[in-house]
Structure 1
Amino acid sequence: MNNTKETLPMGYFLPRRGLLAGLALLAGALLAGCASPPPDTTQRPPIVFVHGNGDTAALWTTMQWRYESQGWPRERLHAVDFPNPLARDDDTVAQPGRSSSTEQREVLAAEVQRVLAATGAAKVVLIGNSRGGNAIRNYIQNGGGDKTVSHAILGGTPNHGVWANPQFRPNNEFNGAGPFLQALNAPKGAEGNEVTPGVQWATVRSDNNDKFAQPDGVWIGAKGTPTNVTAEGPALKGARNIVLPGRDHRETSYHPQAFAAAYEFITGRAPASTAITPEERVTLSGKVSGYGPGGPTNLPLAGAHVAVYAVDADTGARRGAALVDQAVGADGLWGPLTTDARTALEFVVSAPGYAVMHVYRSPFPRSSNIVHLRAERIAEADKGAAAIVTFTRPRGYFGLPRDTLSFDGQLPPGIPPGVAGVSSSKLKLTSAADRPIAGEFRSGELAERVVGRVWPAADNHLVMLELHQ
């Protein structure tokens, strides 16, 4: 592989989307010049998706749907769910509820072996976002992954650090001047490449809209302090380095353009479409987790309860009795739920010590077993509100003026203009009167609208409007 930079124009591989019948994910445009048929599905390697810092496997649902829609067998698409997914402040010092780079490497290695055993394949493809790319590089370089991985694709991974300063958190995993990244980036082979030989490597980055590849430290709480990192920080010598103009940190992995770039890198040809093809019968399941001393755990939350309701897409009102109403066991798993690709849903999650959380979602176009749910608590600063509603986009950030946004008929609060770096907006309402509340998002030709209901915080309720896109 080489270290050439490939730039995709803003509209490249961007599916045409609309709000027809409330199913923003079901429309797409065919890509020009893709006359060649896709590869034989029996030859498609298993893919293991690797999430980023503090995230969950659930972020990969739309990416998995796109691969399935292009004929990739569902049983060859896997997503790792790291325990205690936040990185330590100091990678060499144990920290409650946080994970080290070594722990993440070991979890990924075990997942790869499980997938190889299940599929009978000789090698896997690894696709990671952000910190997930650190685990991929560490596994390939130090855990034997050079023998089990054919392709590695790193979206928004801070390969040269979020900052590069030997005096600031010197042993932090994200310090480009620290021992972890310095060892990964040490020259290899006659050409001095930064990537481990024997694997085909690609990086996918933004041109200038990645919050963690900025010259100023504003996004790490050090405004006005140079980071010694630029927008080119995610690129690696020896990899195919792909640039997606205007995309944000998470979109380098979860956006339709990122799918198209990864698909082409793996198969050698562009996908026929980036659209998600709906299924008539949709089966959903997942895991409930919560929080520990270090942040989100991704560990099963025994004793949690899940109820799922069909709701009216325009009002958020429930349509009948619960489709699922169950206490989860020690494994934290909920489901399965059988529905269709036309029905909007409300997920109600509760557990001792947590709030009753109402998560409203647009219709799911396809099945998924990684519809993971995190129980939440009411923050101390929010306890005076009559109702609390959060509008969230887990697979990307809200960007102004890039995106068109509306939250309860107003511009969502808390989203600064410029670099896209905030994935949620919260309203603390002065009235808890039952009524619809909507979040609307449009970015280029991507569009989605989610409608929920207001629930009273005095009764320990939280509301979340969560976008698929």
Structure 2
Amino acid sequence: MGTRWHTRLLAVVAAAGVLSGACATTAQARPGESRTAAGDVTDQPGTGKDPDGSIPPRGSNDWACLPTPAHPRPVVLVHGTWGNQNDWNVLAPQLKAEGYCVFSLNYGRDTASVLGALPGIYGVGDIHTSAGELAVFVDRVRAATGSAKVDLIGHSQGALMSRQYLRFAGGADKVDRLISLAGTNHGSTMRGVANRLPSGSAYTGFAAGLTGIAGVAAAQQLVGSDFLRELNAAGDTEPGVAYTVIASTRDDASTPPEATFLQAGPDATVDNVWVQDFCATDTFDHGTLPQSPTVAYIVEQALDPSYTGTACPEHTTGR
């Protein structure tokens, strides 16, 4: 094996370690969730994700729910890469308790990659296809609730994929607001691994190797990818859609963190906000941001400006 291919292989192996670590990290128990005895799947990195997404979060997917005048649009929660709908086990019941109709989905299941073949791991398939899955789900929500439009909350790839849906899969006329939580809107360096690669064929080899390990969606989110160039070519936003974009200084995946921010185009509004401007002590990282009480506050304010709550409760720290 030549030196060039050896370099590529090392880069891919390094990425595998980073991504497997991320996968194992997000598999840990969350507030309000139970764990089984020692030796369960969360204690065995690389064996999958628990919960596995088979049961919606509490308060989510009540298909008999009808929106109220106070909260007239249903809220659709869109998880990120290597996640599933249980990433919303904290936020979903909070929104339900405030009177929202809340819905969540699993998307992007693709067992062709190493991580994608693990139980409970979604958000690995081609983002174009995933946007089609979101389109079908949103139409189902609209039909069940009688609502013309929904609000989307997307975490990481979930925000990026939602933008693909808005631009290329008919979503712009069906969505009032997109809340982007640490969205990989302008790409990720995979925690700096991609930045250390030379340009050209080595980068291409890295992307190909990454696809086999972590899925097509991971490669599509690399800074400078063809997917990102196509999505962002006509600007960041869609006319008639309001965007709230949430970034954290502790984000270690959408890098640099401010790359998540969007620039408003014609007839769109964008509110770019830092979590730490609301709570300097919030240390939730990329994978755990959906559990942050400060994020929940920002989300609820975005959905309903009359919302009153506590932006920075005591001990607002991630693990």
For normalisation by structure 1, the TM-score amounts to 0.42
* Residue matched to 1:156: 182
Return the match for 1:127 from 140, 144, 153.
153
Identify if the C-alpha distance between structure 1 residues 263 and 123 changes in structure 2 by more than 3 Å, giving closer, same or farther: same
* Residue matched to 1:404: none
Residues of 2 paired with 1:254 and 1:108: CA distance? 22
Return the match for 1:210 from 230, 236, 251.
251
- Shift in Å, 1:68: 2.1
SS at match of 1:195: coil
Residues of 2 paired with 1:244 and 1:119: CA distance? 32
* Residue matched to 1:81: 106
SS at match of 1:198: coil
SS at match of 2:286: coil
- Shift in Å, 1:446: 5.3
Residues of 2 paired with 1:54 and 1:120: CA distance? 32
* Residue matched to 1:262: 299
- Shift in Å, 1:211: 1.2
Amino acid at match of 1:100: D
SS at match of 1:150: strand
- Shift in Å, 1:42: 3.1
Identify if the C-alpha distance between structure 1 residues 87 and 133 changes in structure 2 by more than 3 Å, giving closer, same or farther: farther
Contact 2:156 2:254 in 1 (8 A): no
Amino acid at match of 1:42: P
* Residue matched to 2:271: 240
Amino acid at match of 1:203: V
Residues of 1 paired with 2:97 and 2:68: CA distance? 12
Contact 2:177 2:241 in 1 (8 A): yes
Identify if the C-alpha distance between structure 1 residues 264 and 103 changes in structure 2 by more than 3 Å, giving closer, same or farther: same
Identify if the C-alpha distance between structure 1 residues 274 and 66 changes in structure 2 by more than 3 Å, giving closer, same or farther: farther
Return the match for 1:179 from 226, 249, 267.
226
Residues of 1 paired with 2:105 and 2:240: CA distance? 23
- Shift in Å, 1:200: 0.4
SS at match of 1:232: helix
Partner deviation per Cα, 1:74-114 (whole Å, 9 max, x = no partner): xx20001114168979xxxxxxx951011110110000000
List alignment gaps of at least 5 residues for structure 1: 1-23, 26-39, 90-96, 189-193, 215-229, 276-442, 449-468
Query: 1:11-410, aligned counterparts within 5 Å?
Result: 41-44=68-71, 45-72=73-100, 76-84=101-109, 98-163=124-189, 167=200, 168-169=203-204, 172-188=219-235, 194-207=236-249, 209-214=250-255, 230-238=256-264, 239-245=270-276, 246-272=283-309
SS at match of 2:297: helix
Identify if the C-alpha distance between structure 1 residues 121 and 87 changes in structure 2 by more than 3 Å, giving closer, same or farther: farther
- Shift in Å, 1:233: 1.2
* Residue matched to 1:18: none
Partner deviation per Cα, 1:202-256 (whole Å, 9 max, x = no partner): 111112x111134xxxxxxxxxxxxxxx221111112211111243113433311
- Shift in Å, 1:273: 5.5
Give the strand-richer structure, 1 or 2. Answer: 1
- Shift in Å, 1:258: 0.9
Contact 1:176 1:182 in 2 (8 A): no
- Shift in Å, 1:271: 3.5
- Shift in Å, 1:70: 2.0
List alignment gaps of at least 5 residues for structure 2: 1-30, 33-66, 115-121, 209-218, 265-269, 277-282
Computed over aligned residues only, the root mean square deviation of the Cα atoms, in angstroms, reads: 3.1
Partner deviation per Cα, 1:12-37 (whole Å, 9 max, x = no partner): xxxxxxxxxxxx76xxxxxxxxxxxx
Give the helix-richer structure, 1 or 2. Answer: 2
Identify if the C-alpha distance between structure 1 residues 88 and 205 changes in structure 2 by more than 3 Å, giving closer, same or farther: farther
- Shift in Å, 1:269: 2.6
Contact 1:87 1:101 in 2 (8 A): no
- Shift in Å, 1:117: 0.3
SS at match of 1:42: coil
Identify if the C-alpha distance between structure 1 residues 123 and 180 changes in structure 2 by more than 3 Å, giving closer, same or farther: same
Return the match for 2:315 from 438, 441, 445.
445
Contact 1:55 1:85 in 2 (8 A): no
SS at match of 2:220: coil
Query: 1:415-426, aligned counterparts within 5 Å?
Result: none
Residues of 2 paired with 1:126 and 1:446: CA distance? 25
| Structure 1 stretch displaced more, 166-175 or 116-125 | 166-175
Aligned residues: 214
Amino acid at match of 2:272: N
Amino acid at match of 2:85: A
Identify if the C-alpha distance between structure 1 residues 87 and 48 changes in structure 2 by more than 3 Å, giving closer, same or farther: farther
Partner deviation per Cα, 1:414-435 (whole Å, 9 max, x = no partner): xxxxxxxxxxxxxxxxxxxxxx
